[in-house]
Amino acid sequence: MITRRRSAAALFSVLAALTMLGAPPASADETTAAKEPPKVELVLDVSGSMRATDLGGRSRISVAQQSFNEVVDSLPEETELGIRVLGATYPGDDKTLGCKDTQQIVPVGHPDRTEAKTAIATLRPTGFTPVGLALREAAKDLGTGETTRRIVLITDGEDTCAPPDPCEVARELAAQGTHLVVDTLGLTLDDKVRRQLTCIAAATGGTYTAVQNGDELTHRIKQLVDRAQETYDQTPQQIAGADECATAPVLTPGVYADREQFEEHRFYRVPIRPGQELRASVSVALDRTLSKDYGVLLRALSPEGQELVRGTDAGSGRTDVLSTGLRWSPDGGATPTESPTDTTAAADTTTQDTVCLVVSNSFSAPASVKRDPGMPVELTVDVVASSPAPSGPDLGRGWVLLAVLALAGLLTGLITGWLARWRIAIWRAN
């Protein structure tokens, strides 16, 4: 009995030691304060025109309410959401009063789903459309911080209360550097509404989308809420690419926003020297209906036009954003996921200190779709110390584990075989 107790004690000691070895102390990175959560506010037009029943035989407000309910139910756990309405309470004709009609019905945070849906259910189309004022108040609701905030504006009409003009308000908010992006969704195909909503979105680096039924509205709002999780620590800087490398803007590491027309090539320059590695990625938001089978191409060229490396992405109508990236170093070439089209050309450019980035697309659209402004482009550029390319497959420290496992297997086999022979010998002796 004493022997068994000693054996058990020894076993627990070994397990405790292994547990201590397998649970290293937390690193400094793990003790760092958590990053600020994504923050989104939905701004819904509840003016009188939302009574119209032209979305599959249903009223615009009922479609919006159902979409909001589904978005609240599927809200990512880490995302903070708020809801603001405009034109929801004043039924009279006094424009001075009607143009002040905007309220936050759900504070920005982690909402109680039942309470949020109850507030949404009580909305009835009522008054004016003070879009500009609602945007200003929504920006205050979201506050300021390190990450980009998003406002998603859903409306079926243009502002009826200017001033303030909503497009000017969007420019004002963008100029304040408040890390704010406004995405707009139009519930009508009216050209004036489209122009105003496109202007609001363009001023802040957001997107405009025309939606014509409940499924489209729900899907698009969910996409934009999910996109808030991919925020940056800085607001993208507005730039304009050139049509050739020689006149292209020079970019330092950072995040940039631009617009690209259909089937266009936009050039940018990035200084890079031996011992450094260029890392670049591009995302193009598909903010309007496109013909199927389209793509985005990101290339790195030498100043002479020789292609060094490329990255591509393609879609067929079911994606919201196309994204691709590349890596290139004058000392090491491309990573395994990219392939220079001419390795000799890449080797000849080791002394250059400028790389031309080219963003191209193969977009086309039906004649009814507007071409202006171009598609929203977000370009991320980084230049870091280059890392040596691996010489070949290598298990590294895995060889040690492999040797230990092989030895354990050998010993287990020998012991098992010896025990089997011992049992057989005893059985024969009896």
Indicate the DSSP class of residue 25: P
* Rounded Cα gap, residues 371 and 241, in angstroms: 17
Of residues 81, 381, 132, 375, the one with CA closest to residue 236: 381
Same domain for 270 and 154, yes or no, is no
Q: Predicted confidence band at 12 (pLDDT cuts at 50, 70, 90)?
A: very low
Residue 192 shares a structural domain with residue 56: yes
Nearest to 152 by CA among 184, 120, 129: 184
Distance from C-alpha of 421 to C-alpha of 103, rounded to nearest angstrom: 85
Q: Are residues 280 and 335 in the same domain?
A: yes
Task: Report which listed range, 6-20, 28-42, 106-120, 370-384, is most confident.
Answer: 106-120
Co-location of 45 and 192 in the same domain: yes
Closest CA to 195 of 226, 147, 157, 224: 157
Q: Report whether pLDDT(36) > 70.
A: yes
Q: Is the pLDDT of residue 5 over 50?
A: no
Cβ neighbour number for residue 123 with a 10 Å cutoff: 21
* Predicted local confidence at residue 398, as pLDDT: 61
List alpha helices for 76-163, DSSP H: 95-98, 113-121, 131-142
Q: Are residues 218 and 344 in the same domain?
A: no
Residue 90 near residue 128 (C-beta atoms within 8 A): yes
Asked whether 79 and 112 are in contact (CB, 8 A), the reply is no
Which three-class secondary structure string do you get for 113-131?
HHHHHHHHHCCCCCCCCCH
**What would the two tokens of residue 370 be?**
């507007």
Number of domains in the chain: 2
Q: Are residues 173 and 250 in the same domain?
A: no
What is the percentage of the chain residues whose pLDDT exceeds 70?
Answer: 81
In a domain, 409, yes or no: no
Beta pairing partners, 254: 381
Q: Quick one: which H or E segment has residue 200?
A: helix 191-204
This prediction's pTM: 0.57
- Name the one residue in this structure whose structure tokens are 């482009």: 377
Whether residue 418 lies inside any domain: the answer is no
For residues 240 and 309, give the distance between their C-alpha atoms in angstroms, rounded to a whole number: 23
Last residue of a domain, one of 162, 196, 230: 230
Most confidently modeled range among 254-263, 320-329, 396-405 = 254-263
Which residue in 84, 69, 79 sits closest to 116, CA to CA? 69
Give the domain range for residue 48: 39-230
Q: Please check whether residues 61 and 98 belong to one and the same domain.
A: yes
Do 173 and 74 lie in one domain? The reply is yes
Summarised one tens digit per residue, pLDDT across range 144-194 is 877 778 999 999 988 999 999 999 999 888 877 667 889 999 998 888 898
Nearest to 384 by CA among 253, 249, 282: 253
Question: What pLDDT is recorded for position 410?
Answer: 80
What does the pLDDT read at residue 426?
A: 78
Of residues 363 and 402, the one with the higher pLDDT is 363
Confidence grade of residue 20 (pLDDT, cut at 50, 70, 90): very low
The pLDDT of residue 430: 67
Q: What is the mean pLDDT of the chain?
A: 81
Indicate if 138 and 186 belong to the same structural domain. yes
Residue by residue, DSSP assigns 379-407 as EEEEEEE--PPP-S---TTHHHHHHHHHH
CATH classification of the domain holding 349 = 2.60.120.380
Contact 286, 321 (CB under 8 A): yes
Q: Is the pLDDT of residue 424 over 70?
A: yes
| 126 and 253, same domain (yes or no) | no
- Tell me the pLDDT tens digit for each residue of 347-359: 343 455 789 999 9
